[in-house]
Every structure is written in C-alpha cells, then in structure tokens.
Amino acid sequence: MKSKIAIGIGAIGMMLAMAACSGSPSNSGSDGGKVDLTVWTGFTGGDRPGYAEIVKDFNASHPKIQVTMTVQPWDTIQQKLPSAWLTGQGPDLATPSSDPNAVAQYVKTNSVLPLTNTGSSNTQINVDKLAPGTVTEFTYNKKLYAVPANFATLSLYYNKKAFAAAGISGPPTTVAEFAADAKKLTIDGGQTQFGLALADNQTIQMWPILQWLEGGDIVNAKNCSVVQSAAGQKSLKTWSDMVVNDKIAPVGLTGAEADSLFSAGKAAMEMNGPWAAPGFKDAGIDLGIATIPVGVNGKVTLGSTAPLSISAKTKYPAQAQEFLAYWTSKSVQQKFSLSTGFPPLRTDLSDDAKLKADPVVSVFAAQVPDSRLYLPGVPNATQVDADGYVPLIGQITRGQSVAGSTASIGATINGLTGCKS
C-alpha cells in the first residue's frame, strides 16, 4: 500500500511539475549566443504590417537577436500584462496600452525598466530626436520608461462624393466652415447621411479637438477642471447643440461604430488617425484627407502615441534597448511612415523630402507641431476619461444642460486629479 501511495504522490508531483514548466507564455531565451526576445503589441489595425516589417527587418539585420512579435487586442494585453510582468513570465517588451498615460501604472508597480541606453549612436535610443511631448509623457522621476511606438495626429477624413453632392468645393479650413459644412452635409436629420461621424466612447477622443477649436479645454496646468468655465461651456455647447438640434452626428457612437458609419458612406466627415485610411479606402469611399480646420486660437489637433516598454524582469535589457533604438531610428521611421501614413516620431524627419511628397503622410505630419496629447501627465487620467469626460459628453449630447453637467463632472474631475484650488 505504501508503494501505491508513493506512486500516486509521485504522479501528482510530476503533473504539477509539468504544469509549472508549461506555464510561461514567453519564449524568450538564449540559444548558442542568439537571444530571442518577445514583444506583445496591440496593433491590430491597418497599420499592423508596418510594425511587422520593422521586426522582420530587425531580425534580418541582427542575426544574434531575434524578435517575435505577438499582436493581440488592447483589452487582452491590459488583462494579462500586469500579472505577467509581475511574475516574470511576460514578454521582454510590450505596448501596455494605447493610452500613453497607462505607463504611470506600470512605473508605480516597478514593472518597467528605466531606459538607460540613450545617446546618438546607431545602437542607442536618440531621445533628443524624439518628439518632445512623447519623451515628457514617458518620463517619471527623471527616468524614461518607454519610447513612442508610434506618433499619430488626427486629421479630417471626408467623402469627396458627399461634398460634391452638397455643392461644397473642398474640405473646411476654419472651425466656422467646419460647423457650417457639418450642418449642410446632414441630410434628413441623419437618416440619409450625417455630417460628421463623432465617436465619444471606446475610442481615441475626438471631442477635445472640438473643444480646443472653440477655445475651451478639459483641465488647466494645475490639473483642475475647466470644463465648467465660461470658455469650457461655450466650446462644448456649440457642438453639443449641433448634435442635439441639427443632428449632425449620431449620439453615443463608439470608435468602431463611427468608422463603420463613415465607411458605409452614411457620414460625410470623420476625425481619425492614419490607421483608419486603409479601411476607408478598402470600403470604396472617395476619400479625401485634410488637416483639422483652424480654430479660434489657431491650429490644433489631437496627438496620440502608444508606449513601448521593456519588462523590468527581462533577462536581456541590453538587447531589448538595442531593439528600441532600432525601432526609433531615422531610416526605420522613414520607412514606417511611408508604409503606414503615420507621421514620423522623430523631429529630424519633419523636413524629409520623401515624407513631404507622400500625400497621406504629409497631411498627418504637417499637424505634428500643433498637436496636443489627451490629458498628458494628469493624475488618474484613465479614470478622468472614463468617469469624467466620457459621461460628460454622453450627457450633453443627450440634451442635458451643459451648465449642470459641467458643474457636476468638473467636481468629479477635480476629485480624481486631486485639484485643491
């Protein structure tokens, strides 16, 4: 009987050992001097081939470092990465979120590696040449914790056929024209066509652009809400009135729904990033891309960047940083921009002749100097968005009073950011 018990315990032990061995999702390792790195990214859109090309070129030019990129939805990364990196079983590198503010959380939990391999040589991350806003965004306590995996601006996509049918000769150039065109392009109160596909949830935010164009904002330099200020209310009211009264856009659209609406030819304009262009072209839209119209205080648009970080527990910090240096290098970024339409994330490519000649890149790149990130450096920015800004837009586009909504949401935002004044 004792021997049976021993066999039983042994079998269970083996089972557990096998389970433990098979638990690691990461395949990074070293084989005969060759280092294998794993990367998780959330780039599932039309820009995906551009990132795959970077990895492919890196592997071809670095025989001793081989990178495997796994692409999965942002939600999945968000669920798996915190615990995966904590237990040392995650990938060597990852884009933790499409929200640049998410890096703060990983810094707080000591999950990301501070980047030290900075400088101007080919194998170093050239911080001085990266878009300044991105470096500031990813710097905490004077240490850099991520590089921008990309940098995008939002431009105005428009349906040339719809514009021609409405007798409008070209895209709007000022915010006043933008508003007038949105009304003119709305047919049958939106039943036939909406002037604008305007998403307000589960998306990159479009409403801050409208606010900025009208001279309003969300928070000030002290991270205190200004949506309830006179300028804030006016900026929101102008466009929410057009949604409620003129039906220029459907209410409560997600980003994907807004894209579908524009792709189906049921909306004449949409503000979106370069990743959307391939889908719109594939849908057969007679597509035009223009810069965001000039606002009351000048040019402005939303800038967006996804962070690319290294796990604090990677066994190969030097090789991982070399990969980041390659990713952000000049020639790689030039090629990436040309293949995806994204503006370059390096300042030394802003005058690049090839990029300027590209009709798509040139539009997005031209707006980089005027771009602003969404809630950069604001404490609890993710919650400010989910519990503050998204409900605010939801309320006012459903006819609730702008004064009342901004007063109550302003207090919520201040509570989340820790604003004292």
- Chain residues binding another protein by CB under 8 A are 1, 4-5, 8, 12, 15-16, 78-79, 82-83, 85-86, 105-106, 108-111, 190-191, 194, 201-202, 250-254, 257, 260-261, 264, 266, 382-383, 386-387, 390-391, 394-395, 398
What is the phi-psi region of residue 380: left when phi exceeds 0, alpha when psi lies from -120 to 50, beta otherwise?
Answer: left
Q: What is the dihedral of CA 395, 400, 401, 406, to 10 degrees?
A: -20
**E strand segments, 120-272:** 139-140, 143-144, 147-148, 152-153, 155-159, 199-201, 253-254, 269-272
Q: 242 or 390: whose CB is closer to another protein?
A: 390
Residue with smaller CB distance to another protein, 125 or 261? 261
Nearer to another protein by Cβ, of 170 and 252: the residue is: 252
In degrees, rounded to 5, the angle at the alpha carbon of residue 231 between the alpha carbons of residues 228 and 232 is 40
CA gap 291, 173 in Å, rounded: 8
Based on CB atoms, which residue is closest to another protein, 29 or 73? Answer: 73
Strand pairing report for 155-159 and 287-290? antiparallel
Cα separation, 127 vs 147, in Å, equals: 9
**What's 47-58 look like in SS3?**
CHHHHHHHHHHH
The CA-atom distances, in angstroms, between 111 and each of 182, 262, 298 are: 46, 40, 40
Rounded to a whole number of angstroms, the minimum distance from the CB of residue 130 to another protein is: 27
Nearer to another protein, 212 or 262 (CB): 262
Q: How far is the CB of 86 from another protein (least distance, A)?
A: 4
- Secondary structure of residue 190 in the 3-state scheme: helix
- The least CB distance from residue 302 to another protein, in Å, is 21
Closest CB to another protein among 68 and 78? 78
229-237 long-range Cβ contacts below 8 angstroms, 24+ apart = 232/406, 233/402, 233/403, 233/406, 235/210, 235/211, 236/207, 236/211, 236/392, 236/393, 236/396, 236/402, 236/406, 237/396, 237/402
Inter-residue contact 305 to 328 (CB < 8 Å): no
Tell me the closest approach of the beta carbon of residue 108 to another protein, in angstroms: 7
Nearest approach in angstroms of CB 49 to another protein is 25
Report the nearest approach of another protein to the CB of residue 411 (Å).
13
If the CB atoms of residues 164 and 386 are measured against another protein, the closer one turns out to be 386
Least distance from another protein to the Cβ atom of residue 115, Å: 19
Q: Considering beta carbons, is residue 266 or 346 the nearer one to another protein?
A: 266
Closest distance of CB 48 from another protein, Å: 20
